[in-house]
Structures are given as structure tokens and as C-alpha cells.
Amino acid sequence: MYADQVSENSPIRILERCCRGGLARGELGVVMARAGVGKTAFLVQIGLDAAMRKQRVLHVALGQDLEHVQSWYDALFGDLAQTTSLEDREQVRADVARHRVIQASADTTFGHERLDDIVKLYGQAQFKPQVILVDGVDWERGAVVERAAELGAIKLIAKRLGAVLWFSAQTHRDTAPTHPTVLTPPCDAYAELIDIGVFLEPEGAHVSVRLVRDHETTPPADTPLQLHTDTMRLVEHGADEREIALPPRSFTLLSGGANGAEAAFGAAAERWGLAEVTFSFAGHQTARERGLVELSDAELERGSVSEAYITAQLHRSFPGTPTFQRLLKSIWHQVATAGEVFVVGEILDDDTVKGGTGWGAELAKHLRKRLYVYDQTKVQWFTWTGDRWTEIEALRIRRTRFTGTGTRFLTDAGRQAIEDLFERSFGDS
């Protein structure tokens, strides 16, 4: 059976061996991580594994469109087929599609009534799910007691169907400790309802999987899992790092939407079909409004850093006006969840980047993001290696969630550098 050809080293099979055999019918597993770490890819890997075992999979994608989710299945199946030299791959692909239903919605609310409606809809086509994946739930919307009641009702529906449940949950850097061993916010409030909890944590070029809840087992077993960042495929010792060909719509540009470099990044993203998130705040005008997210005062405070720290890192100070200080705080949101950061500007002799853009670059260094700067004076891309800038050629966008920022004073060379970056990255799509 073709499932045996690829299954033994799948992340979910190894995870099941580390805990008490995985989930039973009606039980709930939660995949926790910060934005951009790989929750969607992890759920898709679970869905692929189940469908290849001829289990019926219902994948509910909230705040996403159907094409986005389908592109993840296509890309990760292609990667899986190539790495395992899968035979009859088109027949297997068709078989996986027959065992999987994707229900996508722009809404991020999800309750038992909605699940019941979806099950009834597909029940008419004799599709009774055995694995239910729910990606994109807003765990912080509404009162805890109400959300807990909904989760309990959802688990009852799953048990009635004979299905297992997997949800994703977004954590935040300021509430999730490094190397957690227990459920973290927002999931800790629902510990009695969660049977298995998995935390995804970036470590260098890979993602580690931490089992933070395994039914009543305390402490949970250690999980020897290191996964590739974009594919959530097991990292095999000595294996070459290989890229997968995700379509442009699987990528998201994070930016502030200002005139100059940020507007050029946004325009390029729109032309190439990428998603775009533009961070702003009340009273602040942006040159771009596509994917506009207006940050609240509380959200801005999450990006607050002392003036003394900024001065020490950049060897200069910035205006103390409320608007400029809020702008600096908004930059944290552009960088914190990105897999890599692209900046257009000028590298100074002290290795910082000129102007307000420099704070985004310093944040990327501090948060250990992959950082690339196009220096408009040297007409060259550079990458930060940890202690110095090094020239880099044929640069491409590799991470699905990335920052594009830079100076307002964009030169023709800087604009062309952005255009060439997108052409190299998506020209073969």
C-alpha cells in the first residue's frame, strides 16, 4: 500500500509513537505556534498522512481562501512524492483528493453549529469525516466559559462521527515562554478539553516540535522532532535542504505601506499575486491600504522598546513625538512574525542601516531573522551573518511570510532591485 511507502517518517506518526498512541475518537489535539512558524503546514501534513491512509479528512480553513489551502496540499504532496520516489503519484494524488474536503471561509469564528452544518452538507455526498482539521480559530474571541462550552460540543460531534480533532492556535512571543513544557496562552485556559498539545518553535533554519500535553501524562515525553520550516517534513540527518515550489499566493508580505520602498514592495506583491498585510494605527496615513491592519494601542505596546535600548543599538536617537514613537512600535509587528526581512536603504559604517528603517533591521538582528539589505549607494544586496555584512547574489524570497521595508527615498536602482527580487522568486511560477 502506498501509504506504507511514506508514512513511517511522517511527523504525525513519530508524534504518535512519542505519546500514548495519538488521539482517540472525539479527542482534541492542538498545534500551537506564533504566526508564520508553520501551523498550517503541520495540519496539512496531518491531513495528507490521513488521506493517504484512506481516512476521510475535513479541513476547515478560517480566514483563508480555498486556493491558498489547496496550494499547500499540492506543494507538500509534490515534495512528499519527490522525497520518497512515490510510484503512481498522479493516481495517489487523485486518491488523496477523494478522501479530503476543504471548507474555506473568511470568518475566524467556529462553533459546534457550524461544524454540524458542514457535516450535514457533506453527509449528503456520503462523506463522513474521520479526521477534522480546523485552522485559524480566534481563541481569544469571547469569554473563556463560552469558548470552552463550544469546544466541548465540538468534541461531542467528533465522537459521534468517530473522528479525531486537530486545531491550530496562535501564541504570542510575550506570553509563550522559550522551550515550553505545558500548554501556553491562549490554550492553557482549556487544558481540561485538550488531549494532546504540540508547540512548534523555530530553532535556526528548522522548527522543533515540543509535546506539551499528552492526556494525563506528566511530564510529556520528549519529542525528537526537527522539521523543515516550510514543509514541516522531518529533517533527516545528512539530507540536503531542498526547496518546494509554492505558488505566489502562498506568500504574505508584511509592511508598513509607506511611500518609497514599502509601497514598491506592496505593488510588486500585488502584481505577482501575493497576499499583503499593511500595519498602521489610528490617525496614520499609508500609501497602500491593501490588507490594512489598524493596530490598537494595546497591540502597539507589544512592540514597545525603551529609548535607551534603541539609542544603544543604533547609536542615534529618533524624534520623541507620539506619532513617530507609535511608528517605531508598529515596526515590531512587521518583523516579529516574518521568516525573513528585506530592507532597501543604506548600510552605515557602524553596521546599522540609515534612518528609521534601521530599527526594522536591528529588530531582525535581535530576533535572529534572516536579514537582507539592498544598499542603494553600493548597488548591491548584503546579508547579515551575525557579525558582519556579506554580499549576496541572486537573492530570492524563500519564506512564505516575509517583511519588505526600506527608505522613503527610493532610487531607480532600489526600485529595480525590488522588481528583480520578485522576478527571481516567482518568475517561474
User: What is the per-residue pLDDT across 315-349, written as a single tens digit (0 to 9) for each?
Assistant: 666 666 777 778 888 888 888 778 899 999 999 99
Predicted model pTM: 0.70
Burial-class residue 32 by CB neighbours within 10 Å (0-12, 13-18, 19+): buried
Residue 3 confidence (pLDDT) above 60: no
What is 165-229 written as a DSSP string? EEEEEE--TTTS-SS-SS--TTGGGGTTT-SEEEEEEEETTEEEEEEEEETTBSSPPP--EEEET
DSSP letter, residue 346: -
Please state, in angstroms and rounded to a whole number, the distance separating the CA atoms of residues 50 and 32: 20
pLDDT of residue 319: 67
Could you tell me which residues come within 8 angstroms of residue 235 by beta carbon, excluding any fewer than 6 positions away?
Answer: 206, 226, 227, 228
Which part of the chain has CATH 3.40.50.450?
Answer: 248-426
What DSSP element (H or E) covers 384? strand 380-384
pLDDT of residue 238: 44
Distances (CA, A) of 61 to 68, 101, 138, 206, 290: 9, 11, 12, 25, 21
- 330-368 burial by CB neighbour count: b if 16+ within 10 A, else e? bbbbbbbbbbbbbbbbbbeeeebbbbbbbbbbbbbbebe
Cis peptide bond N-terminal to 248, omega within 30 = no
Band of the pLDDT at 378, cuts 50, 70, 90?
A: very high
For range 257-268, the mean pLDDT: 96
Report which of residues 72 and 371 the model is more confident about: 371
CA proximity to 255, closest of 246, 265, 247: 265
Report which of residues 232 and 294 the model is more confident about: 294
Residue 5 confidence (pLDDT) above 70: no
Mean pLDDT of the chain: 85
Please state, in angstroms and rounded to a whole number, the distance separating the CA atoms of residues 168 and 32: 6
For range 142-152, the mean pLDDT: 93
Which of the residue ranges 108-122, 258-272, 401-415 would you say has the lowest mean pLDDT? Answer: 108-122
* Cβ atoms of residues 112 and 161 within 8 Å: no
Type of residue numbered 69: V
Residue 237 confidence (pLDDT) above 60: no
Q: Which three cell numbers stand for residue 172?
A: 504570542
Which part of the chain has CATH 3.40.50.300?
Answer: 2-228
pLDDT of residue 4: 55
Q: What is the dihedral of CA 373, 428, 272, 341, to 10 degrees?
A: -20
C-beta neighbour count of 321 within 10 angstroms = 9
pLDDT of residue 240: 46
Percent pLDDT > 90 in the chain is: 46
Band of the pLDDT at 256, cuts 50, 70, 90?
A: very high
Q: Which three cell numbers stand for residue 67?
A: 486556493
Name the CATH code of domain 248-426 (choices 3.40.50.450, 1.20.1440.130, 3.40.50.300, 3.40.50.720): 3.40.50.450
Q: Which CATH superfamily is domain 2-228 in?
A: P-loop containing nucleotide triphosphate hydrolases (3.40.50.300)
Report which of residues 131 and 326 the model is more confident about: 131
